[in-house]
Structure 1
């Protein structure tokens, strides 16, 4: 069993296989704290690396993306975008509304301001097309996130 307190302080030096990551994320689903963003970013990066080499979209990957998006930090859009782009399956399976962790205006402003980021153009195009198609508001994004959380808690 994962020691979540230890993992929070030493995740960079703790080897985690897929089952360990799943266990950690299930614990974080129930005990998500303000300071967990770095750990969640680390877990999502590991899931992203794993999904670049495989097929499908694991529940663990979806849960990691959800929990990181819930942190509400605009800079996490890049980690979420990288996860979405890991494979054909992740592009299709990770919900686009998760790419707005700080809301539409905050996240979009961050991406626009990130002039030197190599993925800026692609992400701006995706966000623009997604919002045009979905016609989402921040309230609807929060509702989608709540529904997704309820799925994982179910």
Structure 2
């Protein structure tokens, strides 16, 4: 049995296998709090590492990316970008709209301001091409995230 309250305070010292991570993420789908961003970053990093070694995109990876994007923090774009780049399958399987956790303007401004980040140019290029191709607005991004949440809750 997963003790979510304990995990929230001691996730760095708790070993979770893939099934445990998915169980935690399912709990967080209905019980996420504003202060869960650190835990979600950790879970997404664990999923990213696992996906560098395998094929496909797990339910846990999709949930971790969704829940972290829902936190709405611009700095999480880097963790989400790393997850998207874990493999060919994650690049195709994680939706690009998740790369705008603080909306288009807020996230883009953060990436532009991150002049020393080694992935800045690649992410800016991807974001620009994605926005041009998809013609997304902040409302579109919110709708996509709401639809993805509904899918996972269903």
| Residue pairs, 1:114-133, within 5 angstroms | 114-133=114-133
Which residue of 1 is the match for residue 29 of structure 2? 29
1:7-40, CA deviations, whole angstroms, 9 ceiling, x for partnerless residues? 0000000000001100000000010101000000
Following TM superposition, by how much is the alpha carbon of 1:153 offset from its aligned partner in structure 2, in angstroms?
A: 0.2
1:16-73, CA deviations, whole angstroms, 9 ceiling, x for partnerless residues? 0001100000000010101000000000000000000000000110000000000000
Aligned residues: 154
| Residue pairs, 1:94-109, within 5 angstroms | 94-109=94-109
RMSD: 0.3
- If the length of structure 2 is used for normalisation, what is the TM-score? 1.00
Which stretches in structure 2 are left out of the alignment for 5+ residues? Answer: none
| Residue pairs, 1:2-151, within 5 angstroms | 2-151=2-151
Q: Distance in 1 between matches of 2:48 and 2:115?
A: 24
Q: Distance in 2 between matches of 1:44 and 1:75?
A: 14
Q: Distance in 1 between matches of 2:27 and 2:33?
A: 11
Q: Secondary structure at the match of 1:2?
A: coil
Q: Distance in 1 between matches of 2:140 and 2:146?
A: 10
Q: Distance in 2 between matches of 1:39 and 1:113?
A: 25
Q: Distance in 1 between matches of 2:41 and 2:24?
A: 13
- If the length of structure 1 is used for normalisation, what is the TM-score? 1.00
1:64-117, CA deviations, whole angstroms, 9 ceiling, x for partnerless residues? 000000000000000000000000000000000000000000000000000000
